[in-house]
Chain A
Amino acid sequence: MKLKLSMYILFFVLLTGCGSTKINQFAKFSAAGFTYTEALDELVDEVADTAIDADTISLVKARKGLKTQKERGDEIIASTKRLKNQLNVLGDLKRHVFLLKKYFLTLGRLTESEFDEAIANNASALVTEIQNFSPKLRDADINGTNINQLVNPLTNAAIRKFRLDALNEHFTEERVKTIGLALETHEALLTLLAEKIRDDQEDILAFKETEEIDRPFRNKGDLPKKWMENRKAVLSNRISLASADNAVEAASSLKKAFLALVTTNSGEANIDDVFADINEILDLVDLVKSEEL
């Protein structure tokens, strides 16, 4: 009987030990999700900033076509309204990103082991106190191992099982569908945002190239003081913007990692790819920030 009991204990500890791999995968996924939302949040901010600059430049360019005071007055009011409308939608998207960030944060907390040691220590202390009531309990053992020595591994195994059960219960078919659909929609969002920021920035740079580089060169007289540096900056930044396409992969790789995690038992989710793609978003944000007018 004693042998059977110890085998059960060993089996339970080993079984939940396998579960810890899955919990670690969820921990990595939630970390990737959280980092993704942080990067996306920054990207949305930068898209909004660049949209304002690009809209301003377009208005300046179009002003020549507005001959009367009324036409110019009507256009500036309509343009500002259009821009505010777009900025409001971007604001709504930021709120959604914040919500998703909170979700990944909470998912991550459930996979963290910050309580495990405290719970195991408290359980061990509790057993010690119970054993103090009776020498029989104090000397109780299973296969020569004092009960108190088994408390720690058993408690840790029980906590792991609790976490795994909570995660499995959480990721119902319906929820997997929701998160999958959200990440799929993010693919479209990221594609649109990356294209928009690239195109807006290209408009800004094209305007700068004409007005600050080409026009002064064509005109008579001395060139502006920083003409050479400006020319180099504008031209090299235009080349770097071509890499914006890589950023759109982040949502796609996050979705792939998520589906690998919840639909296979191995949990072979390639989280490293997700982090690499998230870095592309941050690179794009940094690039646009460095080019600001």
Chain B
Amino acid sequence: MAPFEIRNLIRRRLRKIKKAMLATEFVFELENEPESVQTEIAKLFLSIHRAIMQLETKQLTVIRDKLKELEGDIVAGENELKQAFEKLDQIQQDLARATAFLQIVNRVISIAA
């Protein structure tokens, strides 16, 4: 099993435990326990929460780094597409300029004639 999958598995199991510890039944039952047990459970809850946070952040970091590796090619691709698009824009402008120039030449010729 890949490290990412192992983290997924552990995170999902910890989430289940955390969910059970947040349930009303558990909370109310715990209130009947001695202070020392309540403190111990609260510390355990915090440890589980910390572990989940760390696993999530690690998994998000792995994904971010993978995506970052691909960003260079995505940016290069975008620039390539932009250049093709700009070529079309350039063609349109060139045609408009050439037409305007020939219109003037035709007017000069007709006036001269």
Chain A residues packing against B (C-beta within 8 Å): 55, 58, 61-67, 75, 82-83, 85-86, 89-90, 92-93, 96, 99-100, 102-103, 106-107, 109-110, 115, 118-119, 122-123, 125-126, 129-130, 132-133, 159, 162-163, 166, 169-170, 174-175, 178-179, 181-182, 185-186, 188-189, 192, 195-196, 199, 202-203, 206-207, 209-210, 214, 218
Classify the interface of chain A: helix, strand, loop or mixed. helix
> Residue-by-residue, is B37-57 near A (CB-CB < 8 Å gives 1, otherwise 0)?
011111111100110011011
- Say yes or no: is B88 at the interface (Cβ < 8 Å to chain A): yes
CA distance A86 to B50 in the complex (A): 12
Interface size on B, residues (CB 8 A): 58
CA distance A106 to B66 in the complex (A): 23
B70 at the interface (CB under 8 A from A): yes
Q: Is the CB of B91 within 8 A of A119?
A: yes
Residues of A within 8 A of B98 (CB): 126
**Given contacts A89-B57, A192-B63, A115 and B92 within 8 Å (CB-CB):** yes
| A-B CB contacts (within 8 Å), total count | 167
B67-86, CB < 8 A from A: 67-68, 70-71, 73-75, 77-78, 80-82, 84-85
**Extra pairs beyond A159-B88, A182-B67 (15, CB < 8 Å):** A63-B42, A82-B54, A89-B57, A92-B64, A99-B71, A103-B74, A110-B81, A119-B91, A125-B99, A132-B106, A166-B84, A186-B67, A188-B4, A195-B12, A206-B24
